[in-house]
Amino acid sequence: MALGFWRHRRLGQGRRLAFLAAMLAGFADAAAAGEPAALDALVHAYPDFLVGYDASDLIWRDGTRMPLSEGRPTGDFAEMLRRGSILDQIRLPYPAGPLTAGAGPTGDPGRVRNRAFFDKMYGNCWKGEVRPRLVGVVWLPRSWGRTIEATSVNGVAQRIAAVSAEVDALPLALRRYAYPPAGTYNCRTVADTGQPSMHAWGAAIDINTTYADYWLGHRSGTSDTGYLNRIPIELVEIFERHGFIWGGKWSHYDTMHFEYRPELLSDQVATESQPSAAELRRIGSGNDRRR
């Protein structure tokens, strides 16, 4: 891929030196020990913002560096949900396509989100930075036809429109699960983690609440998580093709929820944006391209 080639050419020496430093230090650095595929997918998934990474940092087009792991021990998932690092948020692979028959989800792939990472891309809604970037999308023009709002950043609103067109063409027996939608942008945190929901960045959509199942709703008085889902896989696969993961694949399931996380769907999603020669010169000169 052109982008991958360019990225490695630019950062290759830095990465080799950093890798050597990590080896010499005698510890298995996370980036050196098996995370590169997930990090490559992350950089490739957000071409408008990211250019690469080294052993310690994620590198943005404007020159910003963000720590990959923040030096904390890993393994406590509840803690990761509250204070997930960039590596934590891509650590669990997301299983695209149908779930294995009879088995519920075994983890929460994508439910960890690094707040600084998403605030920088989409803005902080509590500071009024997300709303100005929202644009309207007519959801299911044939079936429902009202306007919902999603962020224009990363083409999320356009991708929701593409999902809408495909879903709208399905037979009623399938598309009825998708409307009326239960919400997109909502400046709020997730109840059990205190962290912003993807809705707070304008990059998530909840579909018809009539058919929704939620992990908290089935837990009262029992230790059984009792996975339940009524959303047809045909809908899920359309969302996944356009870069949205499904909350129905979390052990803490939320089956009406979809959010734009193309880094977890790198095999499915085509990211069209590639840097032009002029852009490469601009990046090379270190200009800040934040808008």
Of 6 and 211, the one with the shorter C-beta distance to Zn ion is 211
Question: Segment near Zn ion (CB under 5 A), from 11-19, 137-145, 205-213, 266-274?
Answer: 205-213
Residues between 49 and 78 that touch Zn ion (CB under 5 A): none
Out of 44, 111, 242, 257, name the contact with Zn ion by CB under 5 A: 257
Position 15 contacts Zn ion (CB under 5 A): no
- The one segment of 7-15, 83-91, 121-129, 202-210 that binds Zn ion by CB under 5 A: 202-210
Which tokens is 101 given? Answer: 């028959």
Cβ of residue 140: shortest distance to Zn ion, in angstroms? 18
In 140-261, the DSSP E strands lie at 146-151, 204-206, 244-246, 257-260
Decide: is 206 part of the binding site for Zn ion (CB under 5 A): yes
Q: Which is nearer to Zn ion, 44 or 257 (CB)?
A: 257
Shortest reach from residue 213's CB to Zn ion, in Å: 13
Residue nearer to Zn ion on the CB measure, 113 or 257:
257
Residues 217-256 as x/- pattern, contact with Zn ion by CB under 5 A: ----------------------------------------
Structure letter (DSSP) for residue 210: G
Q: How far is the CB of 5 from Zn ion (least distance, A)?
A: 37
Listed ranges 4-12, 51-59, 66-74, 204-212: which one lies at the site for Zn ion (CB under 5 A): 204-212
Please give the distance of CA 88 from its chain centroid, rounded to a whole number.
Answer: 12
Rounded to an integer, what distance in angstroms lies between the CA atom of residue 205 and that of residue 259? 6
**Smallest distance, Å, CB 280 to Zn ion?**
37
Q: Which residues of 65-100 are buried (b: 16+ CB within 10 A; e: fewer)?
A: ebebbeeeeeeebeebbebbbbbbbbbbebbbeebe
CB–CB of 69/30 below 8 Å?
yes
Residues with Cβ within 8 Å of residue 234, at least 6 apart in sequence: 170, 174
CB of 80 to Zn ion, least distance (A): 20
Alpha helices in the chain (DSSP H): 2-25, 36-45, 77-83, 86-91, 115-122, 156-168, 172-175, 233-241, 277-284
Q: Do the Cβ atoms of 149 and 137 come closer than 8 Å?
A: yes
Nearer to Zn ion, 46 or 244 (CB): 244
CA atoms lying within 13 Å on the CB side of residue 98 = 6
Q: Please tell me the total number of residues recorded for the chain in this structure.
A: 291
Considering the complex, state which of residue 69 and residue 255 has its C-beta at the smaller distance from Zn ion. 255
The least distance separating Zn ion from the CB of residue 239, rounded to whole angstroms, comes to 12
- Residue 100 vs 209, nearer CB to Zn ion: 209
**Nearest to Zn ion of 52, 248 (CB atom):** 248
Residues lying near Zn ion in the complex (CB under 5 A): 206, 257
